[in-house]
Structure 1
Amino acid sequence: MCTPDIPGTTLFDGRQAIKGYALNKMCFSFNEAANRAAFLQDEDAYCTRYGLTPPQREAVRSRQVLQMIEAGGNAYYLAKLAGIFGLDMQDIGAQQTGTTKAEFQAKLLAAR
């Protein structure tokens, strides 16, 4: 099977799933309020608990969604992490497209 090459896009495939397992598992844990609180209390300890790699930890620390995706993060799980920081899917879309949130929202409205 041929994988499409989409410039600037990290394809979430089996390799990325394995690479991002720890990050995605940590994000899944945020379904529970106690885990969200524990993360906010000590992010570094929480990342250590889940065995995040240095690139994953840096991506979380810097709040860079594209870096998290490159480190194997799945957008659906990353949305749980973004919610902790008060970000929504439009904030993530803006990061992914290199625009401001307002510009991204305008782009969505124009596409209707």
Structure 2
Amino acid sequence: MALEKPYLDVPGTVVFDADQSRKGYWLNQFCMSLMQADNRARFKADERAYLDGWDMTEEQKQAVMARDLNWCIRTGGNIYFLAKIGATDGKSFQQMAGSMTGMSEEAYRAMMIAGGRSVEGCRFMHEAAGTPAQPTGGIAIHEGV
């Protein structure tokens, strides 16, 4: 029996639940491999060849190569694992988070120091669409929220 997932109706939110965990297992295992210096060197030398050694989907590989962390999350990545990619690239977590919001590191830092994003606005996807909430069985993604 499927569990109810009311969080699927929250725009801009991907909750790392059991389904996401299964979907992203190999992506997250790849990320964890970057904790080893020799694996980081192999990845940096030939990203595609290194990624092809993992049982990831082509979409996951493309998301990693694009360094699109939101895309990685949609394909099952967990931000705490994905942080290993940023570290491999010499990026701070703050730089990574800024890139995920479309903000510069400085703008992201200022927003967080000021208390984060406003709670005003679209709180549920069904409100934006003007329709009742419907279970989608998918992941709620709404860019720009």
TM norm structure 2: 0.72
Q: Which residue of 1 aligns with 2:109?
A: 105
Task: Tell me if the contact between 1:66 and 1:95 (Cα under 8 Å) persists in the aligned partners.
Answer: no
2:34 matches 1:49 = no
Match for 1:78: what amino acid? Answer: L
Unaligned residue ranges in structure 2 (runs of 5+): 117-145
Runs (4+) of structure 1 moved beyond 3 Å?
A: none
35-44 vs 5-14, which moves further: 5-14
Aligned partners of 1:13 and 1:92: how far apart in 2? 22
Task: Tell me if the contact between 1:26 and 1:50 (Cα under 8 Å) persists in the aligned partners.
Answer: yes
Aligned partners of 1:40 and 1:57: how far apart in 2? 14
TM norm structure 1: 0.91
Q: Which residue of 2 aligns with 1:88?
A: 92
Q: Which residue of 1 aligns with 2:65?
A: 61
Match for 1:77: what amino acid? Answer: F
Task: Quote the sequence identity (%).
Answer: 38
Unaligned residue ranges in structure 1 (runs of 5+): none
Match for 1:62: what amino acid? Answer: A
Q: Which has the higher contact order (CA 8 A, sep 6+)?
A: 2
